[in-house]
A and B are shown apart, each in its own frame.
Chain A
């Protein structure tokens, strides 16, 4: 179609002439993908631990050794009393304090429970929170080791063996990058796509050139397509840059195929770009469209399961994630990357995403008016 050809040509010329385009297409994804996972990773690995050992037994020493040798913790402080240990938290020397009571070995074996005390430094919540989760996991693991060692009757062991496997699976550091990088990439593509689309039409409004389009015989769907296609190419470029970084820097190779990712990404981006275009049909200034798109994609991202597993969200938030296109793409990414899922496995996601794409784009076309009332 000739009309579309001219629209696309014009749009591409403008995009390529935009001096910030290289920054958006290449620098931004690189920085985000290189810094974000590394920065987060660093925190998780070096949790400063303070220990108060009232027991001084072989078991308590073993436990401490086990914790330190996990690689997540650095033993920073060894105190005799709790107030002393708390001081190290106050001085920010320790993120986490583990207090091992006297008779730890006896309690552990005879009473089937341990009464370890963990105090966290709430100032760095993420670090301390993760740290205490790790410590719990390590202690559980240790607990089982001890018991399989000492209690010779497995039927007394109330904890199923599968627990150990689960602990490994949830060992965030082992899977951390493979888990996070695809998610961050989705977030990145979403932010760039939606803000680009949202700002573009508004820019034409601000410049006044939209009047010239509106007074021409261009049809509404042609105009929207003329915007959608170039941005799709753009966002796909970002995705490609991101996938290359994931592969080269993090060695993340999807178990499934790239074509599945690209197939789903195409539908996903049409939906997200449609959403951006929809915003731009309402907004009058770039500040408006920028703020609103930033605000909404922020919510999309926070409720996407990228940071918080969807299963651990409250019920209402879980319902919201079903109306959140981002969570579908993150899930698909992880399915394809980690589980090797193919098109057939993500059928429900594809159908849902087609729904989003049709919904946002039809709304954008409907709401884009060539004539004001």
Chain B
């Protein structure tokens, strides 16, 4: 397992002035794993994820992603990862096809590869015939599924998903997780934050962040056993109760 580590974090910290948004967190992720990154609003999930993606400079600590150092090799990391930010990440004023082509293009896919990928992707998402629709006109659930597929169009080692299913209906959420499983089966590591505890159950391992610190990290089964709980919901409530932060 040791050789399969694609994310390795130790004592990673981010301060905004006096405020410590991410407080000394450490964990590893292995290849193909679905890693759930839970925490209440303001726990520091987005901040931690942004540091791993090379979007935010850590204050202290170590981290490597896809074998590259987050301090010195962030631009190399960027070739190896996909990222879906908490805000919607596709261009609403471009069509489905134009978005696919743009994102595939900037990750260096060849023209034939782009065409093939997009055909495959449109079939998978049941978006055939919609390729010339403006992304703006799609329902939220479809947008999110499309954004996910676009985020992994270049076959990254890791994909970071920041609340990808926020506001999406349960059926589409289930479909979304179908896509996540497929990606994981292709050995893409999935690093995902969510506020839905049923989704936490789908993860291979889950970490729970409280006020910038990781308070628990294990498989859902082990966590439930450890906290003597029936569901992840209970585990989460048990831990998150101690939180003092609560902002958006």
Contacts and interface: CB of A to CB of B under 8 A. Distances in A.
Given A10-B98, A373-B57, A208 B85 contact: yes
Contacts of B50: 372
A7 to B, nearest CB: 7
A132 B86 CA distance: 65
Interface stretch (A111-119, A214-222, A277-285, A288-296): A214-222
Interface in A217-247: 217-218
A211 B57 contact: no
Contacts of B57: 371-373
B111 to A, nearest CB: 9
A370 B85 contact: no
B102 A6 contact: yes
Contacts of B92: 207
Given A7-B106, A215-B78, A217-B78, A371 B89 contact: no
Interface string B79-118: 1010101011111111000100111011110000000000
A371 B101 contact: no
A35 interface: no
A217 B89 contact: no
Q: Give the interface size bracket for B toward A.
A: 20 to 34
A17 interface: yes
Nearest to B81: A215
A212 interface: yes
A13 interface: yes
A211 B88 CA distance: 10
Contacts of A68: none
Contact of B55 (A10, A207, A370): A370
Q: Give the interface size bracket for A toward B.
A: 20 to 34
Nearest to B160: A215
Given A2-B105, A216-B106, A370-B54, A208 B89 contact: yes
B107 A217 contact: yes
B218 to A, nearest CB: 29
Interface string A1-34: 0110111011001100110000000000000000
A222 B101 CA distance: 17
Given A211-B55, A370-B55, A10 B102 contact: yes
A209 interface: yes
Interface string A359-373: 000000000001111
B108 A2 contact: yes
B53 interface: yes
Interface of B: 50, 53-57, 74-75, 78-79, 81, 83, 85, 87-94, 98, 101-103, 105-108
Given A212-B85, A372-B55, 5 more contacts: A10-B98, A211-B83, A211-B87, A217-B79, A372-B56
26 contacts: A3-B105, A6-B101, A6-B102, A7-B106, A10-B91, A10-B98, A14-B91, A14-B93, A14-B94, A17-B93, A207-B92, A209-B89, A211-B83, A211-B85, A211-B87, A211-B89, A212-B90, A215-B53, A215-B55, A215-B81, A216-B107, A217-B75, A371-B56, A371-B57, A372-B56, A373-B57
Interface of A: 2-3, 5-7, 9-10, 13-14, 17-18, 207-209, 211-212, 214-218, 370-373
